[in-house]
Structure 1
């Protein structure tokens, strides 16, 4: 059935036709975009029957595309203990205890929680440890993750279940926190935390399908029609076949509506080789679920001081953070993916990790110059001008999360010093240089809510807190630039700019309707009040407020 949408304030994000007030959808694609009178003429000539929907003058945009998040983690987080916003270790204990009280007697399965941040604690600004958790239970194994998901804390029951003790801790190096006597203190980091999450995951096929459907509805309410997601580490033992089967079955059943591009976390050469040998490649799949790239983690997070810097932390001269690979190891992984024409998306927050990532990409490009996968760096927070220029020179994508400055503006000067802090989080500079900058949220590290992300990009102000601050006002993007990064650049980042990202004839009919005009607001704060009222995928309504 052909559908005519009229009386819309349609910002197409197509530079050849920036604005329209009507569009026609047939099957799942736009077949006409233009004025209302032109649309009637178009349909009259075709002679086809159609239904008409009045958009009531509301702002219409292409569907938003979150270029980096953790969709399955977000979906399963509804079953975890929420520790977000906890003001003390005492409050963390209280929340965990309350969750345990709701359990059936005798249930000693793993209990997971997430979202704590020691910088917000009002009692002791330290990481929780096994002693804190042991006060709650010595029988139920627990994993409680910091908001960045690069740090977790285990209780004694969990350490025992995982075989982490004084004798075995040394094999994990800096990934296990130790007490003065050599006993583990319960803190685990980075790849050990990732492996733990995969090992204790209880998700099966049916549970996966159930939570995917629930989570996609949450995404639609934020205007997200596409997400690019790192999910493999959240299924049992990194079973990506199970993950893709869940998506495939939902699509066959007509229940998968959101478009998912998988950023596949595989950090050993043998695992990447096996992945390719099985036939997985960039673009494998359908327009609802596909392989986008190989995901690699080069360092940790700024808040936990595990982001890899080139110089010691300004507020802790004893560390430069954690490098998850040697340069040689990273070079090998990037080269393997590059020669298989599959992009890599490398998590790199610190300038040291970013430099390593750029070096590895440059070596791969020189080794196989005829191959041109669109490699990218995820987060790319701590930078200087030379690093930014290398992004452009190497045509490296920047997957950024504007909402990060809400918290990071409070710590970046302490962590890296004034000079480096003022050349970091510079998305406008990147975009002005012609670097492809796409927006994501890293959800559930941050909320998947789209308006706070846009607000952060165009105002450079904090969203939370009683007092408004501004971080590097010269890096504020225009609304046009921000929406471009959330739509067109998201599609480019996944190599799908020919089929989505703008409201254009022939492209997939994914679009959203908002309750106010983001391009004509009375004040910045109105951005945060803006709501998505309708979301369409394939031209079909999938969400209405």
Structure 2
């Protein structure tokens, strides 16, 4: 890492040398409006920031401090992904990776390579396929997998996590008879003209197949979390809101935290109205003694995803007449869960993608708290992708946080208007409009649906283009954010969404020394350069959890 030197001064000062460190850098962006820039930052052995200012000032005040010379590096607050899936990211690194595949044949070839290392009888599991990237854009079938894998069960999760693709061997292990025209609540089984399942299961229908997969043991769960967290810190993340954590997963997190093996902060959201939510209501909001693991929130699903046509819409899909998507929970059931969450002081974050789904959630939140709630509940809508224009001002009015993922827009832009038509696209991926109405934007990625790399989110937010700079000027460019607004969404506003703005999100005296060293200044370069920022090091509580290998 160029220019970074740690050396202890020999001159005694008012504090012991081992108790204080002064970081020097070309520029420190604090995200603190009272002191937006600094050249030096002092923090103690517990990882608390003591002061910010000039290099001369801090060395004069703390002459006995250690010196961390970052040379010409730029420092920003630690980046926080407000919506990711650590366990799924780790599992995606352990299973067949299908992201970026352009055909069924390419998928089968990747699966053959992965199957070569499996034992006989093991399920072949993978994730990342997207039929929108294929020439015909049609859903796949069991026949696409059966020739290569006639006996080994295969289950492949779509890139968005809202659909799965099985072969015949997997369907033979499903306990329920799949024949007929029936459909599960909140889900859909794709069927051929004769009513036979074609191999694709959407939203809650996925449970039918996943119930047949052997459960994951505790060691595997811990390994998946460790791999996911390692990837996160390598990309500059010091915190993640893990959206949908089961009781088994929180147990795995706790074991890792007990051993001091959490390299970043995890804000865990319980996986819906299940065991973890009941535990929170019974035992109270949870915080691990080491301070890097919390669970005080729950995640609900109101609808599916746009790519698999499960997002709940007011009108038919423009490219699929008769289909208005799926509701994964009915309004009366949603209202009941929300009231229990309110009474337990549990924050609620609800997945809503379609315009009907978003209105249903806004209405339910209003019914729980009142339309102009000032209670500080900080309830959230996750994704908020397609919102009727008349509902956009309601986020600010109801104090609902818009937890959004900029790379969803740039991934979806090739086909989103085909799904929605020219009228409904107006209220979609509307970051600028929501922010201008006064809503708080907590930004994230939804990894592994998208890349874990927050630099891609900063780039997408500020340009609304793909990696090649297309479309010229950006897709629906009036919804762009500035680089500062995007960085705020991944720092201070993400911290606020997790009740942590007094601890993280900006670099201020009294807060945690969570920061990232960059080779380039995100506030000074052209927005097009945000995707290629160089992460030199990631620090949590003043200690490096990632350092870029030297060239």
The TM-score normalised by the length of structure 1 is 0.92
* Equivalent in 4, 26, 32 of residue 8 of structure 1: 26
Contact 2:155 2:165 in 1 (8 A): yes
Match of 1:259 in 2: 265
Change (3 A) 1:24 1:168: farther
Is the partner of 2:193 in helix, strand or coil?
Answer: coil
Cα distance in 2 between the residues matched to 1:56 and 1:156: 59
Q: CA deviation at 1:69?
A: 0.7
Contact 1:72 1:231 in 2 (8 A): no
Query: What do the CA deviations read for 1:458-499 (whole angstroms, capped 9, x no partner)?
Result: 111122687656211111111111111100001000011111
Instruction: Give 1:57-456 correspondences, 5 Å limit.
Output: 57-104=72-119, 107-122=120-135, 124-167=136-179, 170=182, 172=184, 174-193=187-206, 196-197=209-210, 200=213, 202-232=215-245, 238=246, 240=247, 242-267=248-273, 271=275, 274-281=278-285, 287-366=291-370, 372-456=376-460
Cα distance in 1 between the residues matched to 2:85 and 2:301: 14
Deviates most, 90-99 or 449-458: 90-99
Match of 2:42 in 1: 24
Q: CA deviation at 1:97?
A: 2.3
Change (3 A) 1:351 1:365: same
Is the partner of 1:542 in helix, strand or coil?
Answer: strand
Deviates most, 211-220 or 322-331: 211-220
Contact 2:331 2:360 in 1 (8 A): yes
Query: What do the CA deviations read for 1:168-220 (whole angstroms, capped 9, x no partner)?
Result: 87362542222232322221111232575476364322222333233222111
More helix, by proportion: 1
Q: CA deviation at 1:520?
A: 1.4
Is the partner of 1:162 in helix, strand or coil?
Answer: coil
Contact 2:244 2:272 in 1 (8 A): no
Q: CA deviation at 1:8?
A: 3.5
Cα distance in 2 between the residues matched to 1:421 and 1:84: 26
Is the partner of 2:21 in helix, strand or coil?
Answer: strand
Q: CA deviation at 1:273?
A: 6.2
* Equivalent in 504, 528, 533 of residue 525 of structure 1: 528
Cα distance in 2 between the residues matched to 1:323 and 1:84: 27
Change (3 A) 1:318 1:369: closer
Cα distance in 1 between the residues matched to 2:172 and 2:372: 47
Cα distance in 1 between the residues matched to 2:342 and 2:230: 35
Contact 1:259 1:289 in 2 (8 A): yes
Is the partner of 1:161 in helix, strand or coil?
Answer: coil
Q: Does 1:503 align with 2:515?
A: no
Contact 2:465 2:471 in 1 (8 A): no
Cα distance in 2 between the residues matched to 1:287 and 1:385: 41
Contact 1:282 1:293 in 2 (8 A): no
Change (3 A) 1:197 1:539: farther
* Equivalent in 68, 73, 76 of residue 53 of structure 1: 68
**Structure 2 residue runs without a partner (length 5+):** 1-17
Instruction: Give 1:449-468 correspondences, 5 Å limit.
Output: 449-463=453-467, 468=472
* Equivalent in 497, 522, 537 of residue 540 of structure 2: 537
Change (3 A) 1:119 1:367: closer
Change (3 A) 1:7 1:118: closer
Cα distance in 2 between the residues matched to 1:534 and 1:63: 10
Q: CA deviation at 1:385?
A: 2.6
Residues paired across the two proteins, number: 528
